[in-house]
Amino acid sequence: MALPITDLILAAVSKLVDDSQADSYREPSHSDLDFYIGRSGLSHADPKTQGQTVGKSKRVRAVLSWALDNDQAAGGKLIEGLVSKIRASGGFRETSDNYIGKSVILQAVDAFGSEGYILAMDGDLRPRNLDSLSGRNLTEALRAYARRAIKGAEDAALLSGTSKDLLEATAAHVITVKLGTYPQQANFPTLLGQAFVTLGLATPEDPPLSSEAPCRVMERGMYQAAVGVNRLRNKEGTGHGRPWSAGITQAEAEAAVELAGVVAGYMLDRLDAS
């Protein structure tokens, strides 16, 4: 994904690497910065290569400032690399020695949010408006939601900024990729059924055969589970707040979001393989 770069994001990202006020050293190291700056093609804008000795925050701010004016694509690549490195190093995990702090994370959340991106408190970064994506970019964005759903992240169930839930969006994407367009007025069971058929997956409409592969039984179960999850959805939701209808338990909500992630991920895997 092509991450945006603005003055607000520039300031927030430079704070993510700043350990000058911390009690102890935090990753990423200056050596890590060498790698990510070089991989983004921005070494010539790095104060370190010009013989200057500056802290990590000022170093990142200088490089991104140059990129903001001269090469925003490279700046976006650097931001993506740094956020991924910080997340992998435990920077978004409160129990980690590398934890960067709630206030710094919230500042970054606001900065990315102003440009249409969602930065979760655990460091997951993704586009808010999936309607602007298509093809491979949309596949990967949906896959990121599926991974979060499998882990039980409730915010992955109803896609922020859209009227679709994860399963509906995945089914529509599959049909669009395979057939060029999808039936926007179709109800969910019909939409999902068409996506399953397009991918060669079994639905309850396919009579079981004694000679069929065991995965066909699983696929029928996935279809029925997905329809059940969709029925639990809060149809009045707008992408904010609790995505489930009133009255279901927390255990039911957790099971529903994890099921959504499993089914969506399976569909996306089959799409990649087709």
Q: What are 38-77's pLDDT values in tens digits?
A: 999 999 999 999 999 899 999 999 999 999 999 998 999 9
Final residue in a domain of this structure, among 71, 93, 128: 128
Residue 90 lies inside a defined structural domain of this protein:
yes
Identify the band that residue 169 occupies on the pLDDT scale cut at 50, 70 and 90: very high
Q: Does the structure show a pLDDT above 80 at 92?
A: yes
Tokens describing residue 8:
């607000």
Residue 252 lies inside a defined structural domain of this protein:
yes
Same domain, 16 and 115: yes
Contact between residue 7 and residue 39 where contact means Cβ atoms under 8 Å apart: no
Same domain, 199 and 241: yes
109 burial type by CB count under 10 A (0-12 exposed, 13-18 middle, 19+ buried): middle
Strand partners, 127: 117
Tokens describing residue 103:
């206030």
Same domain, 168 and 207: yes
Q: How far is Cα 264 from Cα 95, in angstroms, rounded to an integer?
A: 31
Tokens describing residue 222:
């996935």
Same domain, 175 and 233: yes
Q: What pLDDT, on the 0 to 100 scale, is given for residue 11?
A: 95
Same domain, 180 and 262: yes
Identify the band that residue 179 occupies on the pLDDT scale cut at 50, 70 and 90: very high
Please tell me the least confidently modeled range out of 34-38, 52-56, 115-119, 165-169: 115-119
Same domain, 87 and 202: no
Residue 160: domain span? 148-273
Q: For all residues of the chain together, what is the average pLDDT?
A: 88
Q: What pLDDT, on the 0 to 100 scale, is given for residue 1?
A: 53
Please tell me the least confidently modeled range out of 115-119, 160-164, 173-177: 160-164
Residue range 228-246: mean pLDDT, rounded: 67
Identify the band that residue 237 occupies on the pLDDT scale cut at 50, 70 and 90: very low
Residue 54 lies inside a defined structural domain of this protein:
yes
Would you give the DSSP letter of residue 241?
A: S
Q: How far is Cα 237 from Cα 243, in angstroms, rounded to an integer?
A: 6
Q: Does the structure show a pLDDT above 80 at 192?
A: yes
- Residue found under tokens 């994407």: 173
Residue 211 lies inside a defined structural domain of this protein:
yes
Helices and strands in the chain, H and E counts: 10, 2
Q: How far is Cα 80 from Cα 83, in angstroms, rounded to an integer?
A: 5
Same domain, 152 and 119: no
Torsions phi, psi for 127 (to 5 deg): -65, 145
Residue range 108-116: mean pLDDT, rounded: 87
Q: What pLDDT, on the 0 to 100 scale, is given for residue 65?
A: 97
Q: What pLDDT, on the 0 to 100 scale, is given for residue 250?
A: 84
Which residues neighbour 47 within 8 Å (Cβ) at sequence distance 6 or greater? 54, 58, 59, 62, 63
Q: What pLDDT, on the 0 to 100 scale, is given for residue 238?
A: 40
Residue 197 lies inside a defined structural domain of this protein:
yes
Q: Does the structure show a pLDDT above 80 at 235?
A: no
Q: What pLDDT, on the 0 to 100 scale, is given for residue 156?
A: 64
Q: How far is Cα 39 from Cα 32, in angstroms, rounded to an integer?
A: 11
Three-state DSSP class for residue 158: strand
pLDDT digits (tens, 9 = 90+) for 124-164: 988 777 777 788 888 988 888 888 788 777 666 666 445 57
Q: How many domains does the chain have?
A: 2
Same domain, 16 and 80: yes
Same domain, 162 and 85: no
